[in-house]
Structure 1
Amino acid sequence: MIIGLGIAAGCALGALTALMGVVAMAFPGRPRPWPAHLLRRSAWLAAASAAAVYSLGLSGVLAAEWAVGDGADSTPAPACRDGFAPATVQGLSHHRASYLPLGFDCVREDGSTYTSDPDYAWMNRTSAVLALSAAALAVGAGCAAELRARAAAR
């Protein structure tokens, strides 16, 4: 768990560094052509932020997975039992951990399932939106560089 939190902290530090690069574009003395640099730095910011959010969720899934079978009343995963009504948890037999997307499928004895902690849903959505934004910004930076090269060739 410490490793997962360390990775999340490292990604968050990378996101803050990238954020400072984006903010630096607002000050005088910025590199030219500044739109291409801004797109590139924003892409790095979005990618680092996506990695930070995903690794935070991943460390949560791994911690819950490691807690299974570690003492009395530890099976199935606490993520499937904690915070749910007793009627929901009744008949719980096992769980299935998922790392992409993050979360747990909690399986009852009759075969029906329910999803665990709703915090994983926002982590999945946020990391997906940030990753797609990073890809779009990187493509935009590439297109801007291509257009600039074509204009210079004329």
Structure 2
Amino acid sequence: MLLDSGVPAVCALGALISAVGVAAMAFPGRPEPWPVHLLRRAAAMAACAAGAVYSLGFFAVLTADLAVGDGADSTPATACREGFDADTVRGLSHSRYSLLPLRFDCVRDDGSVYSSDPDYVWMNWGALALALSAVLLAVAAGCAAEFRARKAAVTP
């Protein structure tokens, strides 16, 4: 229980600390070269935020899967039955999950499938967008550092 709330909290805290570092670049006394530092801090913030979003979904999927077969009235998955009308749940046979991309699907006897939670869609897209942003910002920081080094080498 502690793990499924602790990891996202640590990632969110890392994103918050990185966000403070990004905001600190607006004040006097910032480190030089400031564009490189700003890009690196923004990349760290985006990476921590991606980790927070993904780990929220990761532990939600694992929690839903671990609840299957854990006591009375736990099969098929509770996540597939709660919050749905009787017609949707009728004929429910089993569930399956995936951690990449995040999803917890409910399977009926006829082979049709429905998602247990639509929040997995925004978690997948959010984590992907934040991870790509982190990579692009890290590459931009490397390019800015190299450009500054070449500029320093050319000017006497």
Aligned-pair identity in percent equals 67
Report whether the alignment pairs 1:110 with 2:134. Answer: no
Equivalent positions of 1:1-154 (< 5 A) are: 1-154=1-154
Partner letter of residue 111 of structure 2? G
* TM-score for the superposition, normalised by structure 2: 0.95
Native 8 Å contact 1:67 1:77 kept in 2: yes
Contact between 1:61 and 1:103, CA under 8 Å: does it hold in 2? Answer: yes
- CA distance in 1: counterparts of 2:78 and 2:125, whole angstroms: 23
The count of aligned residue pairs is 154
Match of 2:139, SS state, is helix
User: For residues 104 and 138 of structure 1, what CA distance do their matches in structure 2 show?
Assistant: 33
| 1:110 match: secondary structure | coil
Amino acid paired to 2:102: L
Gaps of 5+ in 2: none
Q: CA deviation at 1:2?
A: 2.0
Runs of 4+ displaced beyond 3 Å: none
Q: CA deviation at 1:16?
A: 0.9
Aligned alpha-carbon RMSD (Å): 1.0
Q: CA deviation at 1:129?
A: 0.7
Report if aligned partners of 1:5, 1:55 keep a CA contact under 8 Å in 2: no
Amino acid at match of 2:81: R
* SS across alignment from 1:114: strand
Bigger Cα displacement from structure 2, 78-87 vs 140-149: 78-87
